[in-house]
A = this chain, B = another copy of it.
Amino acid sequence: AAFPGGFPGSQQDPLYGYFSAVAGQDGHVSAEELQACLTQANFSGGYKPFNLETCRLMIGMLDRDMSGSMGFNEFKELWTVINAWKQHFMAMDRDRSGTVDPQEMNQALSSMGYRLSPQAMNCIIKRYSCQGKITFDDYVACCVRLRSLTELFRQRDQAQQGVATFQYDDFIGCTMSI
């Protein structure tokens, strides 16, 4: 056979093991499967495992066909993105307390290129903090939603002027799916 033992290209990829173990027969990963996979792979390291809500957000971020699940290419893309966030978070969390401060979170979002007013930044940080601290799980949930919402906005801001007009149905369909 031209491609013994698997799909072309997928065989050598070490991530494919994780993916195929959880994706099962349908070849797609649901939020529950993603949670199990990230926990098994000890992705969070010393941090608390991701909750199901965060896993749903991750799938929503890359689920372009709106199937509610992920194929291997989307899975690889997700892995790369959340690894980068993890490195960033660990660099901030120098004392390995598992949390970062609002001020550090603010700097992290700014360094990712988000230009937000202090008011908007405060809303975000308040929403994702617990007793004044941000956990890794909340940090990732925040990054996923900020990325997805910015992307949705950009698609509707065709003149790239920072202004977009939404129909109610489109606004709800977009924002409720994230």
Which residues of A pack against B, CB within 8 Å? 30-32, 51, 53, 56, 60, 66, 68, 114, 116-117, 119-120, 122-124, 126-127, 130-131, 142, 145-146, 149-150, 153, 157, 162-173, 175-178
A66 in contact with B123 given A53-B51, A164-B166, A164-B168 (CB within 8 Å): yes
A116 to B171, CA, bound (A): 11
Q: Which residues of B contact A167 (CB under 8 A)?
A: 162-163
A123 to B178, CA, bound (A): 9
A150 in contact with B172 given A53-B53, A56-B127, A177-B124 (CB within 8 Å): yes
Q: Which residues of B contact A123 (CB under 8 A)?
A: 66, 173, 176-177
Q: Which residues of B contact A131 (CB under 8 A)?
A: 30, 32
A168 to B165, CA, bound (A): 10
Taking a contact as CB atoms under 8 Å apart, the answer to whether A117 and B150 are in contact is: no
Task: Name the distance in Å between A54's Cβ and chain B's nearest Cβ.
Answer: 9
A169 in contact with B68 given A53-B53, A145-B176 (CB within 8 Å): no
A172 in contact with B120 given A165-B163, A166-B164 (CB within 8 Å): yes
A153 to B176, CA, bound (A): 13
Task: Name the distance in Å between A133's Cβ and chain B's nearest Cβ.
Answer: 12
- Which 5 residue pairs across A and B have the least CB separation, nearest first? A120-B173, A123-B177, A162-B168, A165-B165, A124-B176
A173 in contact with B117 given A51-B53, A162-B167, A165-B163 (CB within 8 Å): yes
Q: Which residues of B contact A177 (CB under 8 A)?
A: 123-124, 126-127
Taking a contact as CB atoms under 8 Å apart, the answer to whether A66 and B126 are in contact is: yes
| A149 partner, pick from B32, B117, B163, B172, beta carbons under 8 A | B172
| A173 partner, pick from B32, B119, B130, B157, beta carbons under 8 A | B119
